[in-house]
Amino acid sequence: MTFHWSNHPAPHSWLSGAGKNAERLRGLAGAKGEKVLDNNELLSRVFSHVGWRDLGVIGGVCVRFRIIAQDTARFRIRATLEPLATRLGFDVDWLLKAVGKRGGGVIGATALKVMTWGEKWDEGYTPVKRMTLAIPIGEMDKLVNELAKMDLKEWKQVDVYRATKNMVRRVIEFKAGKDEEATYLRIVESTGGVMRAVVASDTTEDMVVVSASRIYLVYPKLAHQFLALKGRWNRVRNDVARKGPTVQASNQAWGFDCGKLCPASWRKGDEGSGIGVFYWNGEKEREVFGRWWEKVEEPGDQLSIEESWSWSQLAYGWRGFRALAELDKDALLGGDVFKWRLSTSCDNPGCIRHPRLLFSRDVGVQATQD
């Protein structure tokens, strides 16, 4: 059965009708063929009305839902960035690729707009006229050289406020158009990793980062409660490690085999806060996860844990399950920036295996001690 909703625009071709995700959806359709594809189109229309919190939760149900959720997130990113990119004279895909090569991301009101898409409070935000990019130290000149190919050459230096001078090295800005209808592109060069520039800000607008593959929400409880999404490896009751992020809507606690509620790892600030992350780029997600298990290709596949495994073996395996994609050494939150370690122990403060947590003053986050 095919559904036609006259009051809702048809999904874009790049959203559900093209690319590897579409091929994978056709593969999941199997013998059911067009009927399943029609259902996929219906799901994509339904997902377009789902808020950020529920989008990530629904995306964790199965492979098919995750693909559609990722494509929905991709649509929201593109729909938010495209008007600004068009006024600035470049393509969204080109921008994300250039920023991704530099290890950076989009922050500020533009990134926040992606998070609040379809939410009731989104109507209160004024139209976005500035796109802000955050990049690691040493990448400013390289990115400017790439943007020069798009005729973005007349940059002006912007002052770095005293409160952030230890976190932000340089800020430059490009202006396109007249004053009343001008569009701005701002680049913030961090003194270290990208997140230094983010945590240095005292506004909620700079607490969201849209990278070339993921969406991060820093201080989720302080910014927008219940918007935090955290993908991670998790063990289910029958001692099977399910490959695919388990999502905690409020990012507050995780259930462990000991029966206790464990706090979200690497928390920041008050109880329940942390770093929410959602992979909107399915190809990048599979690429990173493939580094851990090359034989497991689908997010819904499972990896068995032998009952005879000792605690040390389980701890070693758990380190792999806890190896969040955002903690990958080549990712936005690189270990060389935050000095984060993958813990081999349970992170429940009430557990005897819980390691002591230290506060890292240089970056303003908690890290795990050996």
Residue 300: C-alpha distances to residues 59, 71, 234, 236 (Å): 11, 17, 12, 13
Interacting residues of 62 by C-beta distance below 8 A, sequence separation 6+: 300
Domain ranges of the chain: 13-74, 89-207, 213-368
114: nearest Cα among 182, 195, 55: 55
Q: What is the pLDDT of residues 297-328, one digit of tens each?
A: 333 333 343 444 444 444 444 333 333 333 33
Q: Which residue has the higher pLDDT, 360 or 111?
A: 111
Report how far residue 193's alpha carbon sits from residue 365's, in angstroms, rounded to the nearest whole number: 13
Torsion of Cα atoms, 14 then 16 then 19 then 24, to 10°:
170
In CATH, the number for domain 89-207 is 3.30.460
Distance (Å, rounded) from C-alpha 357 to C-alpha 267?
Answer: 10
With CA atoms as reference, report the closest residue to 46 among 61, 33, 58: 58
Could you give the CA distance from residue 12 to residue 270 in angstroms, rounded to a whole number? 40
Q: What is the distance between the alpha carbons of residues 35 and 255, in angstroms, rounded to a whole number?
A: 38
Q: What is the pLDDT of residues 197-249, one digit of tens each?
A: 776 665 555 667 888 877 776 644 433 333 233 333 333 334 444 333 333 33
3-class secondary structure, 137: coil
pTM for this one?
0.52
